[in-house]
Amino acid sequence: MDSTIVILAICDGISYAALVFLVSVGLSLIFGVLRIVNVAHGSLYAYGAYMAATLSLLVAPISPWLTFPALLVASVLVGAIVGGLMERFLLRPVYHLEEVLQLLITFAVFMIMDNLQRMIWGVQPIFAAEPVKLLPNISILGVNYTSYQVLLLPLVAVITLFGLRYFLRYTLAGSIIMAVTEDREAATAIGIDARRVFLITFIIGASLAALGGALASPTTSLVPGMGTDMIVLSFAVAATAGLGQIEGAAVTALMIGLARAFIIYIQPELEVLVPYLIMMLVLLIRPMGLFGVNRVRKI
């Protein structure tokens, strides 16, 4: 394998990893606090993408540069409205039930959202590529890349990673979330309103999924079913990293992104298999994930 391929594969791997990280870190965060695996996470990704495309197409005639804030606004809108409603009215009533029932609620939401998406946005592929076109291409070893994909996406991912770290470690709201993650009973005992923490966390996690979708929207066709594969992929990343692990999700996303890119250069037939194979192997060796910590099992 020559060095050109290595460099190209790294460029491809990073931009892919950036999107995967954004989606899976949201999933991980929600699990860490609410102990719920949100099957509808991929649907939030799809809604983020569709909403971003809708807003972009709306503001592009005014100024194409407005499409960048449109991506952000779309993700926050989807996170707050869809995520907020979902937590408040569908998940809150079932927190006292078994985990499997909570999980199935999110499965039902996934089916409903998938269906509604077709009703709202139709089935024809939608494309809103303005943001990619505005930024220049850069040439790496004679191969053209869009700076949107190799610079902007990784940049947003890194900002999100450090932003989340800062928020969780150095702000009051973040510390409260961390406290609930560490020990829910103790946190509520000292007067923390767990219900509000759950709502806020779910909205943040949902917004991150939507942000992943919004950032993907300028490079991909939006089609029915686009969220279905994203769900398992983000599961794979989150589980491989260890559920609830934020830095771990970043490292794992990068690992899966790079492995996938190299495989496409070397043995493209194995591409689909890569994330699941990695997940399977890691979980067999380290059940809690690469970065997960063993919790004491309660008797």
Helices (H), the chain: 3-34, 41-59, 67-78, 84-85, 99-121, 130-134, 147, 153-170, 172-182, 184-189, 194-216, 226-241, 246-266, 273-285
Total residues binding other proteins (CB under 8 A)? 88
Per CB under 8 A, does 264 bind other proteins?
Answer: yes
The encoded tokens of residue 31 equal 């699990």
**Based on CB atoms, which residue is closest to other proteins, 176 or 211?**
211
**Based on CB atoms, which residue is closest to other proteins, 119 or 190?**
119
Per CB under 8 A, does 68 bind other proteins?
Answer: no
**Based on CB atoms, which residue is closest to other proteins, 176 or 198?**
198
**Based on CB atoms, which residue is closest to other proteins, 147 or 175?**
147
Per CB under 8 A, does 132 bind other proteins?
Answer: yes
Of 7-15, 21-29, 182-190, 193-201, the segment contacting other proteins by CB under 8 A is 7-15
**Based on CB atoms, which residue is closest to other proteins, 110 or 198?**
110
Please report, for residues 57, 140, 210, the alpha-carbon distance to residue 131 in angstroms, rounded to integers and kept in the order given: 11, 21, 17
Q: Are 250 and 157 in contact (CB under 8 A)?
A: yes
List the interface residues with other proteins, window 87-126 (CB under 8 A): 90, 93-94, 97-101, 103-105, 107-112, 114-116, 118-119, 122-125
Encode burial over 102-129: b for 16+ CB neighbours within 10 A, e otherwise.
beebbbebbeebbeebeeebeeeebebb
List the interface residues with other proteins, window 199-218 (CB under 8 A): 216
List the interface residues with other proteins, window 153-172 (CB under 8 A): none
Minimum Å gap between C-beta 277 and other proteins is: 6
- The span from the CA of 265 to the CA of 155, in Å, is 25
Q: Are 4 and 265 in contact (CB under 8 A)?
A: no
